[in-house]
Chain A
């Protein structure tokens, strides 16, 4: 039981723990379990007195600030894995070593948007269906776990704003940019200033009007109309030769609906502006023919298929 209780101590201490029903069921299995859990939680709290606040002095392995050039840090952190991961890791560690990380999570439901103003003057517009992590003690950090967010960053060359997306890091250089992260794909568009992709590894520079995609087809850089970046904030979606597969994800997120596409529709591409409308029926009546598609209502959502068929 001690082992099980320790497992629950660790799980419930996790800031992202959600399965309280399972924890309730475990507790109900035996009244002694609550006492074992309490005792271990108290032991955990007592650890504060004995946990050394600074790491053991590992020879030459202490992470240095990410913006501190010149040290061959890849060698010492090789055990972690590839260069990009190591770079992301070093960045996060050195940040959190300066001031204790106090991470909190922002979640929006599909169709719901939220605007966050950080103390440093940075604004983040969060689109629907998005999970974003921020740090109370470090306003220059954000992690986009899934969904879409537009960043209007107050630039500070000595303390760049960094967004981590999976293993990748985007670093601002005075910037307005939009990031989408769904499944295994990441897309970023830059409308002002400049963003550096993975400064510690590929270090790809993305000036205004450039976009980067990292998905099943690999890493690609392309052009994007600056006005199209984060256009969802103005209630429209702007595309230049974009795949309907991407567009349908944007629509689902912005409208808060379940949207599927047929393989034929997914393969099509679209250039133009789609005006968003909270009423899906009215939206598709205008948008589907515009894309050369038709929309039909399915059980609990909508489906886009090829052809200008009758709207149902």
Chain B
């Protein structure tokens, strides 16, 4: 770990100011990912700006419906909040599928968005990685890539986005509120994270000195027909091989509205409007689900060890849509797949 300066931000404006004044500063809240990365020498910030005490811990109902979640709300508080459990069970379920109780207690909502992508080589500074060191090469292509991406990859990076929460937020069409030197702006969740392209060093579209202040959930909450189905190598405390957030509105057996987002398969939570369009207006049955899965995976590409993810994703999408349609969401405590 490198030697660094530490300062506390007085308020959001001060945080932005301090960040702008020091090009290699990082904000720290729960630190559950950043501190690990510093220990591995992957991140070497010259300054940590502590934002953990800023007043961004509220969960509020704004006029016009929906829910506004402060960026510093701990993951556990968000998952167990009565409004979230009641109205947005997909979000609650996704959060509880991730990490461990201890990590969820520590991790903030904004920090969850800003977890760095996952790849064995990104975390090992003794190996090449275009994300860590642009131009050094991608060791995962042709290397150990069982956990890597199958969708939206580029020649220079096949890392995967690690969050469960973000997959649900993408499915729910959440909006990320940020503040920067130019003032406030809102970014659609689906635009917040990036595909690697030829700039894999950038995980998100957050500006250099911008800070996440809140997540806004729209009124539509899919509280009846939803599921978060996460498939992993052990039954808890492991990242997703494939995760599917599915949310449907069904009337008389016909799908009126459909949301489908995937985790563990791409550099960002993967939404596919074309696949959702395939579902809408169709009867909620296996054939329909299989068609949607085929559309989602039409351009999927494996890199050897992760080839299995394509078929696994297909099966998981179908099961998740079936769970959602049946109203039998996946339990995150009993690991038996409903």
A binds B: no
Residues of B within 8 A of A (CB): none
